[in-house]
Amino acid sequence: MSAFPDLYAFVVELRPLGNGPAPRPQGQGAQALFLDLVRQVAPDVSEALHADAQSKPYTVGILPSRRRDVVLLRVSLLHSDLFQPFVQALLRQMPGGELRLGQARLALGDVIGTPPPQGHPWAGFDSFADLYARVTPAHTVTLEFASATAIGQGSRADGRQRLNLLPTPEAIFPSLGRRWNDLAPQDLTFDMEQVRNASLDTMVSHHRIESTDISLGKGPQKGFVGIVAYELPADPIQARILTTLADAALFLGVGIKTARGMGLCRRMSNAG
């Protein structure tokens, strides 16, 4: 690591308490919980996070899990200023603190901030600068979409929002590119025309996906989950751009409402 980390991904274990209602592992409750945590130690930061920024400097979601005794809250922070308040809030809660996810009461468990083999596939830390400098252009990148993901694509003739529920390269990579450009240091931004051209020369080579609904308070929101392999362009510069964006997906998330549970995404290693 040469640059100071400005990208963090945490997996926070939450254990349902008592005999209240079971936590519903979707929805806006996760965002409220995250903002509550931060508010406790840094009201000013919390205020800034609430503000309706174009591209929020964090993502919050619930990881899919087969276990019923634990909810895995996933938080990523995309600005180094957020790290201290968030960790402080977690430390203040430990041990035995109680949190709320919707109607459910939860106890804070482990907080995992490191990647495998010690940590968790959805945890890690990095920096925009290191990620950019370190990347090796790949022939193929495989992305896992773990929570409902949808890409906004303007409006239909009838005025309704047009959502893309298929992970086409020309939807996914420009979405990542826009978010990277919104949040990365100025000197590391990508030429969006180049990102679009690279995505147009990318093919989907394998996939297993399905549409799903996520509850966000105002009724269900559609998205897709699953695994998609992209065969990147032969051109090494194009491949490098898209590989960088694939690596950054762990922190950035993909598509709409990544602060409210949608668009959890990571590049899978060759080992899975």
Q: Which residues bind a second copy (CB under 8 A)?
A: 156-158, 162-168, 201, 203-211, 222, 224, 233-235
Other Cβ atoms closer than 10 A to 120: 19
The minimum distance between CB 109 and a second copy, in angstroms, equals 33
The minimum distance between CB 171 and a second copy, in angstroms, equals 9
Q: How far is CA 232 from the centre of its chain?
A: 22
Q: Say if strands 161-164 and 151-155 run parallel, antiparallel, or are unpaired.
A: antiparallel
The minimum distance between CB 260 and a second copy, in angstroms, equals 21
Helix axes 192-200 and 236-252, enclosed angle (nearest 10): 100
**Nearest-5° Cα angle at 242, 138 to 61:** 110
The minimum distance between CB 230 and a second copy, in angstroms, equals 11
Rounded Cα distance between 126 and 6, Å, is 6
The minimum distance between CB 229 and a second copy, in angstroms, equals 8
The label of the residue with tokens 């409006």 reads 155
CB nearer to a second copy: pick between 67 and 208: 208
CB nearer to a second copy: pick between 38 and 228: 228
Q: Which helix (H) or strand (E) holds 29?
A: helix 29-41
> Which residues fall within 8 angstroms of residue 118, CB to CB, at 6 or more apart?
none
CB nearer to a second copy: pick between 165 and 268: 165
CB nearer to a second copy: pick between 95 and 272: 272
* End-to-end CA, the chain: 24
Rounded Cα distance between 77 and 110, Å, is 18
The minimum distance between CB 160 and a second copy, in angstroms, equals 9
Residue 252 and residue 57 in contact, taking contact as beta carbons nearer than 8 Å: no
CB nearer to a second copy: pick between 69 and 158: 158
CB nearer to a second copy: pick between 85 and 169: 169
Rounded Cα distance between 22 and 80, Å, is 34
